[in-house]
Amino acid sequence: MSTDIRLSPGDTIGILGGGQLGRMLSLAAASLGLKTHIFCPDLNSPAFEVANAFTVAPYEDVAALEVFASACSVVTYEFENVPGPTAALLADRLPVRPGVKALEVSQDRFHEKEFLRSAGVQIADYATVDSDQDLTAALQDFGGEGVLKTRRFGYDGKGQVMIRAAADAVGAFDKIGRAPAVLERLIPFDREVSVIVCRDVDGNCDAYDVAENHHEHHILKTSTVPANVSAATAAKAREMAISIASSLEYVGVMGVEMFLSGSGENEVLLVNEIAPRVHNSGHWTEDACLTSQFEQHMRAVAGWQMGSCTRHSDVVMENLIGADCERWPQILSEGNARLHLYGKEEARPGRKMGHVNRLSPKSE
Amino acid sequence: MSTDIRLSPGDTIGILGGGQLGRMLSLAAASLGLKTHIFCPDLNSPAFEVANAFTVAPYEDVAALEVFASACSVVTYEFENVPGPTAALLADRLPVRPGVKALEVSQDRFHEKEFLRSAGVQIADYATVDSDQDLTAALQDFGGEGVLKTRRFGYDGKGQVMIRAAADAVGAFDKIGRAPAVLERLIPFDREVSVIVCRDVDGNCDAYDVAENHHEHHILKTSTVPANVSAATAAKAREMAISIASSLEYVGVMGVEMFLSGSGENEVLLVNEIAPRVHNSGHWTEDACLTSQFEQHMRAVAGWQMGSCTRHSDVVMENLIGADCERWPQILSEGNARLHLYGKEEARPGRKMGHVNRLSPKSE
């Protein structure tokens, strides 16, 4: 499909996936006078409530996808595991942004690493693992340590085994279901940072300030901006993210996670992974910037000019996970906090229910 | 109905009226995990697109109102001319916020002026006009000048006649359809300012910074914050607005328009009118404050604690009226601008199609 389609206000953006990211994308689109149509198999999708239209069907339902395609001017997605045939079917009919290539790369850790290396950014050493013998060989190369990760469908720490000693390696390949995997060299990193980068259909790129992320139980808990990194490292992180988006000929917003080790002049950045969508570690942009990542993504996907990534305030974003959301009355009483809830009914453990952005005057 | 009902996330707020104000209220509610149900007779209401549910029916449809009432936990409105019987029917069944008293007062200019005088705020002299003789007598009292305004259903300059000379008075009462009216003494005001005030169910009041408003063809064109007024006048304006909200035992956000004459220590404020709802001159809060007037209203109506009215940036809001909205691509290219479009299809002259907030770093 033509890559230069540009929408007008009133046109419809299709979104694959109906979770909180789709919901926040729909809200951002509505502020711009754009319509959204959500496609999601789950009848209780939070995004349905705020979209102009929605389709409840499996991602493999060809007839439903064809009706969906005919109702939209362009399609985007809120999750990277869109089935390949689904993306291909849609891409035959209308522009799929950020792009099919971004999906292919991010759905397979090995392809992702090969791509990142080709894009010239630094990443941890890695080796493919398709058998116990592969694992043994790779561990020997990496000093007996490493993180074993399935190539596909891993998120929030799922499909991963940490190997720090010989005993950890026993049965490790079984633990991930003997699925095709990669072993990553263990990086003694101090911090995780991320950059939200955006690119428009004309190839213009920009990036938000670097966020410093803290995880609990493998789930993002807080993102703090500005990150406590040197100016040189901050600039380097943004450059790396922009370089990745450019190499992918990406259209929209992407999250780039990086490991940071050392300090001061010895800070070293390694890209961990990319997420070809709006990203949890970019939720702070909604209240600390004039243009949020959600608006930025909708603008880029619509073929519109992007807004400024400038930040007007310092901010700490806290995820409200499971029962955390019961603290909403206290959060409302905090003068510098803005509460975001996703409209999910059941607060299951580990489920992302909302987030809160706490602002303070800009420090730099 | 009980005045202390407090909603939980997931509960539904009913909104009478489906225009851009209802739309922006719905978007703000969604961010807080609250649902909205819009009631509006117009099938093409902009707010329907982003609400959880909507009812298309006349405001006089008792059966439809009863179903609506049973679907909501509380009801608010986006326009002040809600028919009295509609408000009364709903108020028998569930809380109507800001309140029936606020509606009664603001629907009739004479009642409004009587109330404002009783609340102790300064307003222009006025007299009721129910005949040509009344008009002649009132003009004599006010030096032959005045503004003749219908008591009910006036907005954006409609239902008004300016009388500056004897010739203007001829046929003036006919021009407003011989409807019950008031003559206001002509005030040689220099500027119009407004204050967005909010009050919660516990009686806590707060107000946003004063905005300076510029009109074109009797329609608001820009609101600038901070207003070019003395600190004493700014404080006085906020005090007056808070005093009005308190006197009405108001719950939610209210717009208070004021005339300002003189300068420096000689600045004099007179309240022009109140709007018992979110207000066009408060649209700047969406991008220059952590808590917008829309979120503030939804929080108060839900029985929740209000957020901070603190402003983090200077801002000029420009209304996009009629064909103004065709400038959207240029507005997107301005780095300090945030575009808001209301999803209306037809850009008729005089129709509010959207607005833009242009931010700059805070000057004070």
B22/B20 Cα distance (integer angstroms):
5
pLDDT of B4: 80
| The pLDDT of residue B49 is above 60 | yes
Q: What is the mean pLDDT of residues B207-232?
A: 96
Measured between beta carbons, the chain B residues lying within 8 angstroms of A50 are 26-27, 30, 50
The encoded tokens of residue A4 equal 């230069």
> What pLDDT is stored for residue B262 in this prediction?
85
Measured in angstroms, the CA of A98 and the nearest CA of chain B are apart by 20
Least confident of A57-66, A82-91, B123-132, B184-193: B184-193
Tell whether B108 is covered by a domain: no
Domain check: are B139 and B236 in the same one? no
Chain B residues with CB inside 8 Å of A335's CB? 307-308, 310
- Taking only the tens place, the pLDDT of each residue in B304-324 is 999 999 999 999 999 999 999
| Region B334-349 average pLDDT | 96
Closest chain B residue by Cα to residue A334: B307
Of the candidates A30, A312, A339, which has its C-beta nearest B313's C-beta?
Answer: A312
Bridge partners, residue A148, by sequence: A161, A183
**B355 and B217 together in one domain:** yes
- Cα–Cα distance, B16 to B37 (Å, whole number): 9
Hey, what are A110's tokens? 């090995």
Beta carbons of A305 and B336 less than 8 Å apart: no
Do B41 and B180 have their domain in common?
Answer: no
- Domain shared by B208 and B299, yes or no: yes
**Chain B: closest CA distance from residue A363 (Å):** 13
Asked if residue A301 and residue A173 are part of one domain, the reply reads: no
Q: Any chain A CB within 8 A of the CB of B27?
A: yes
pLDDT > 80? residue B156: no
CB contact under 8 A, B343 and A308: no
- Return the sign of the alpha-carbon dihedral for residues A216, A219, A225, A229: positive
DSSP per-residue codes, B280-326: GGGTTHHHHBSS-HHHHHHHHHTTPPP----B-EEEEEEEEEGGGGG
Rounded to whole angstroms, how far apart are CA atoms A152 and A130?
13
Low-confidence ranges of chain A (pLDDT < 50): 1
Measure the CA–CA gap between A287 and B130, rounded to whole angstroms.
52
Chain A residues with CB under 8 Å of B308 CB are: 335-336
Cα–Cα distance, A279 to A294 (Å, whole number) = 9
The residue type found at B88 is A
**pLDDT recorded at residue A360:** 95
Q: Does one domain contain both A145 and A249? A: no
Cα radius of gyration rounded to whole Å, chain B: 20
Contacts of B52 in chain A (CB under 8 A): 49
- Joined together, the tokens standing for residue B222 give 């820009």
Confidence label for B62 from pLDDT (cuts 50, 70 and 90): very high
CB–CB of B359 and A31 under 8 A?
A: no
Task: Tell whether the torsion through CA atoms of B267, B273, B274 and B280 is positive or negative.
Answer: negative
CA distance B211 to B33: 30
Q: Does the residue B285 lie in any domain?
A: yes
Burial class of B265 by CB neighbour count within 10 A (0 to 12, 13 to 18, 19+): exposed
Chain A residues with CB inside 8 Å of B354's CB?
33
Taking the Cβ of residue B268 and every Cβ of chain A, the question of whether any pair is shorter than 8 Å is answered with: no
In angstroms, rounded to a whole number, what is the distance separating the alpha carbons of residues A183 and A110?
Answer: 10
- Tell me if A51 is assigned to some domain: yes
Partner B contacted by A81 (CB < 8 A): no
A298 to chain B: which residues are within 8 Å by CB?
none
Q: How far is B290 from chain A (nearest CA, A)?
A: 7
CB spacing of B30 vs A49 below 8 angstroms: yes
Examine the domain organization and report whether B282 and B137 are in the same domain: no
Quote the number of domains for chain A. 3
The answer on pLDDT for B40 being more than 60 is: yes
- CA distance to partner chain A, nearest, from residue B351 (Å): 15
- Inter-helix orientation angle B20-31/B293-301, to 10°: 70
| B302 shares contact with chain A (CB less than 8 Å) | no
Q: Is B255 helix (H, G, I), strand (E, B) or coil?
A: strand
Q: Classify residue A43: in a domain, yes or no.
A: yes
Residue A276 sits in the same domain as residue A200: yes
Does residue A120 form part of some domain? no
Which chain B residues touch A341 with a CB distance below 8 Å? 9, 31-33
The distance of B178 to chain A (nearest Cα, Å) reads 41
pTM of the model: 0.95
Q: Say whether pLDDT at B158 is over 80.
A: no
Q: Is the pLDDT of residue B1 over 90?
A: no
Q: Tell me how many residue pairs between chain A and chain B have CB atoms under 8 A apart.
A: 97
Interface predicted TM-score (ipTM): 0.94
- Kindly state the tokens that stand for A43: 């009848």
User: A157 and A302 share a domain?
Assistant: no
CATH code of the domain containing A17:
3.40.50.20
**B364 to chain A, closest Cα gap in Å:** 13
Q: How far is B101 from chain A (nearest CA, A)?
A: 28
Task: Retrieve residue A125's tokens.
Answer: 């050493």
Helix axes A109-118, A231-247, angle to 10 degrees: 110
Determine whether the interchain pair B339/A32 forms a contact, defined as Cβ–Cβ distance below 8 Å.
Answer: yes
Residue B259 included in any domain? yes
CA distance B79 to B77: 6
Picking from A184, A203, A227, the residue at the C-terminal end of a domain is: A184
| Closest chain B residue to A50, measured at CA | B50
Q: Give the Cα separation of B69 and A305 in Å (integer).
A: 43
* Burial (CB count <10 Å: 0-12, 13-18, 19+), residue A252: buried
Contacts A290 to B, Cβ<8 Å: 287, 336, 338, 359
Per-residue pLDDT, B35: 98
Strand partners, B339: B356
Q: Locate the DSSP E strands across chain B.
A: 12-16, 35-39, 53-55, 74-77, 126-129, 146-150, 160-163, 181-184, 191-199, 205-207, 211-216, 219-225, 252-261, 268-275, 313-321, 337-341, 352-361
Interface of B with A in 30-59 (CB under 8 A): 30-33, 35, 49-50, 52
Task: Write the DSSP symbol of residue A2.
Answer: -
| CA pair distance B359, B126, nearest whole angstrom | 39
Instruction: Answer whether A35 sits within 8 Å of B343, measured CB to CB.
Output: yes
**Percent above pLDDT 90 for chain B:** 89
pLDDT, residue B145, reads 94
Instruction: Write out residues 318-357 of A within 8 Å (CB-CB) of B.
Output: 325, 328-329, 332-333, 335-336, 338-343, 345, 354
Tokens 């420090």 map to which residue?
Answer: A363
A20 CB near a chain B CB, below 8 Å? no
What's the first-to-final CA gap in chain B, in angstroms?
Answer: 44
A313·B312 Cβ contact <8 A: yes
Residue B3's pLDDT is what? 63
10 Å Cβ neighbour count for A248?
A: 20
- Residue A22, in any domain of the structure: yes
Domain containing residue A253: CATH number: 3.30.470.20
Question: Do residues A316 and A233 both lie within one domain?
Answer: yes
Rounded to 5 degrees, what are φ and ψ at B191? -145, 155
Residue A131 is part of a domain; what is its CATH number? 3.30.1490.20
| Terminal CA-CA length for chain A | 44
Query: Is A228 an interface residue toward B (CB < 8 Å)?
Result: no
Q: Are residues A271 and A175 in the same domain?
A: no
- Print burial letters for B153-181: b (CB count within 10 Å at least 16), e (below 16): ebeeeebbbebeeeebbeebbeebeeeeb
Do A175 and A233 lie in one domain? The reply is no
Statement: residue B127 has pLDDT above 80: yes
pLDDT, position A189: 79
Domain membership flag for residue A229: yes
CA dist B217 and B71 (Å) reads 40
Mean pLDDT lowest among A1-10, B109-118, B174-183: A1-10
Closest Cβ–Cβ partner in B287, B299, B341 for A32: B341
Last residue of a domain, one of A76, A96, A116: A96
pLDDT at residue A236, as a whole number: 96
SS3 B353: strand
Q: Closest by alpha carbon to A249, among A203, A305, A290, A285?
A: A203
CB contacts, 8 Å: B339 with chain A: 32
Q: Containing H/E element for A106?
A: helix A100-107
Report whether pLDDT(B2) > 60: no
Of A59, A80, A96, the last residue of a domain is: A96
d(CA A39, CA A42): 9
How far apart CA A21 and CA A211 sit, in angstroms, is 18
pLDDT digits (tens, 9 = 90+) for B247-272: 999 999 999 999 998 888 888 999 99
What is the extent of the structural domain holding B340? 191-361
Give, in order, the Cα–Cα distances in Å from B218 to each of B159, B215, B350.
Answer: 12, 6, 10
Cβ pair B312:A10 closer than 8 A? no
Considering only CA atoms, which of B79, B219, B82 is closest in space to residue B156?
A: B219
